[in-house]
Copies of this chain bind each other. A is one copy, B any other.
Amino acid sequence: MASEHDGGGDPGRTLALLWRGRTAAGRPPGKPVKGRKPRIGVDQIVHAAVAVADAGGLTAVSMARVAEQLGVGPMTLYTHVPGKAELIELMVDAVMTERELPGPGHPARPAGWRAQVEHYAAQTRALHVRHPWLREVSTARPPLGPGMMAEYEYLLSALRDAGLPPSQMFAASGTIVTYVVAAARQEAEDIQIEQATGQTWDAWWGERRHLWDEHFDADAYPTMTQVWLDGGFDDAGDDDTSTEDPYMYGLQRLLDGIEAATRPPRASRP
């Protein structure tokens, strides 16, 4: 019955772990000093788990394997982390904070809201390339840690500069995150499959070229056939700059649309 999301644990404890006990006042609560000294800590566990996932994907992350990396028994981890689900939450938020998302006033902050969104997209894409296992984790109930907060703080500050009214900020930021994360995940999937199977996209298609001879009926798919004959499936040629990287093409179209919606306040529905 139990699916990927158990959530059986205490949310308060998970939050405290995500923020490493830091409270709003900046005061970590006092720790007891008695008892056996811990050989390992949360940070080391999360770091080891990320290393395992980077190398072998999420399926390679077993409590046994992470513990082995640290030279302790598997059950030792349960002293520091409630369970595997919570460990994965910690992993996600930890790598999220790897992104550099400079706020207003910071010298490294790009100028203009479009450049800022593009910076966010590039950082997010790089993050997924670095940690392809991110795509295997559901973010419908995101880890409410510093990493996720930084993402929204940055994105909202960029859209604020774009002149969006507060009522549209929610929809616009959600849309941008949806598209950018989806594109990043696609790239991550590709990398992950290639490193898991050792097979490139072209090799994979080559193994299935058979499809066209045996099963594909050109009459049943006239448009595909026509576009193929027109060269629509050719790789991006240097002679035609409009045959762009689909990712960048889509991001620019989306930002165009958002920009157009802010400028003239005309009604959008006829």
Contacts and interface: CB of A to CB of B under 8 A. Distances in A.
A24 B268 contact: no
13 contacts: A1-B196, A4-B136, A5-B197, A15-B211, A16-B215, A139-B189, A141-B204, A144-B211, A156-B224, A167-B231, A167-B243, A174-B246, A178-B186
For this chain, the copies found in one complex come to: 2
Interface stretch (A39-47, A66-74, A250-258): A250-258
Interface string A140-159: 11001000010011001100
Contacts of A252: 257, 268
B160 A253 contact: no
A16 to B, nearest CB: 8
Contacts of A261: 253, 256
A257 B251 CA distance: 10
A193 B5 contact: yes
A232 B167 contact: yes
B250 A171 contact: yes
A199 interface: yes
Contact of A230 (B1, B166, B256): B166
B211 A170 contact: no
A124 interface: no
A260 interface: yes
Interface residues of A, number: 98
Interface in A191-213: 192-193, 196-197, 199, 204, 207-208, 210-211, 213
A11 B207 contact: yes
Contacts of A51: none
Given A24-B214, A57-B3, A260 B254 contact: no
A243 B170 contact: yes
B215 A23 contact: yes
Contact of A182 (B181, B216, B230, B232): B181
